[in-house]
Amino acid sequence: MDKRIQRHASILIHHSARVEQGDMVEVKAPTSAEKLVIALNEQLGQIGARPRLTWLNSRANAAYLQALAPEDAVTAEHTVAAMEETDVHIVIQSHTNTAEHSETPAEVGQAVARASAPVQEAVPDRDVFTVYPAPGNAQQAEMSTKAYEDFVWNAINQDWEAQHEFQEQLVEYLESASEINLTRPTGTDLTMSVNGMHAINGDGRGNLPDGEVFTAPIVDSINGIVKFDFPVQHAGQTIEDVTLTFEQGEVVEHHAATNESTLTSLLNTDSGARRLGEIGFGMNRGIDQFTQNILFDEKMAGTVHLALGSASDRAAPKRGNESTIHVDMLIDMREGGVVTVDGEMIQQDGSFVFEN
């Protein structure tokens, strides 16, 4: 077996989920991730943990959803019961074809998602989401499968203890910060306060790859203009060249070069959809290109992401923005970008002052 797969499994088990003897582990995986499942099972056997394996089969799931009347959506009580006895939850994203749900009616998916809320509530704290590189993911990234494998394992197979220490330097700036300002020669000039919010060190526990530090803005503190440098995927559409103007935390003007009406709909989802819930800094130096997969893109070193919609409870206990949406959008700081914290420059051209 490819040593990179064994290392990926080892990081998931020992770093991300900290699996112990006797732990009840649920692994959810699609067919294309079989090799990672085999590697996980071998290491779970060595530890003496107990796996159960749920098959994420997008063709079978699409067949179910496309035949289901929305009013027949019921809570999967057997799945809730299993989740309540689960100590570790590992979900593997891996696609042979990312478009298997293209014909699934949105209202059925939404009805099943609502009925599945009790499943989500039962997910244990040790909950990891990762990617196994399959042809469908590679196609989405416009890369060969071989090149995409290199890309994914470069992003994942890192020394996460060292990455934690590296990121902790930014955490320290942000924990004591009040005002953050972002500027770019393209016209971006945005100011917000994060006073009293927590900065979270994304060091490979909940996501793999990880490699970001994020916090939450004070909801009405945001003012200025921001131009996003990468396309935004939403509702099956690609929205390009998004520009947002904020006044007292609210989007008062918006533009996009393509699918502007999709952006308008997004902003009108609910009252929190016009406000920001997150500002995050990509710090994974193993991710050096945009691949249309937010799990990777938002971690790319030299980028900053802002999320319209809900804030993390960990970053902003009881104080963050609330919404049913959470849509991340990226700014590329690598050419002319400057980040200041309370007037002190902490990043220029995508490099932090504490980087070598």
- Residue numbers at the binding site for a second copy (CB under 8 A): 21-22, 24, 26, 29, 31, 34, 37-46, 48, 50-55, 57, 59-61, 63-69, 72, 74-86
Q: Smallest distance from the beta carbon of 136 to a second copy, in angstroms? A: 16
Instruction: Give the β-pairing of 223-227 and 189-193.
Output: antiparallel
Question: Which is nearer to a second copy, 67 or 185 (by Cβ)?
Answer: 67
CA distances from 31 to 2, 93, 97, 302 (A): 17, 10, 12, 34
Q: Which is nearer to a second copy, 39 or 307 (CB)?
A: 39
CB 36, min distance to a second copy, A: 10
Query: Any idea what the Cα angle at residue 123 is, between residues 122 and 124, rounded to 5°?
Result: 110
Rank residues 75 and 223 by Cβ distance to a second copy and give the closer one.
Answer: 75
Least spacing, CB of residue 207 vs a second copy, in Å: 23
Q: How far is the CB of 46 from a second copy (least distance, A)?
A: 5
Partners of residue 28 on adjacent β-strands: 54, 91
Q: Which residue has the tokens 């989740």?
A: 83
**Among candidate residues 179, 170, 156, 159, the one with its CA nearest the CA of residue 201:** 170
> Which CB, 10 or 265, lies closer to a second copy?
10
- Distance between CA atoms of 107 and 233, rounded to whole angstroms? 19
* CB-nearer residue toward a second copy: 79 or 186: 79
**Residue 241 CB neighbour total at 10 angstroms:** 15
> Which residue type occupies 86?
T
In the complex, the smallest distance separating the C-beta of residue 208 from a second copy, rounded to whole angstroms, is 19
Q: How far is the CB of 23 from a second copy (least distance, A)?
A: 9
Which residue's CB is nearer to a second copy, number 79 or number 169? 79
- The CB-of-129 to a second copy minimum distance in angstroms stands at 18
Residue 152 CB, nearest approach to a second copy (Å): 20
Token output for 326: 């959470």
Rank residues 24 and 325 by Cβ distance to a second copy and give the closer one: 24
CB nearer to a second copy: give 82 or 325: 82
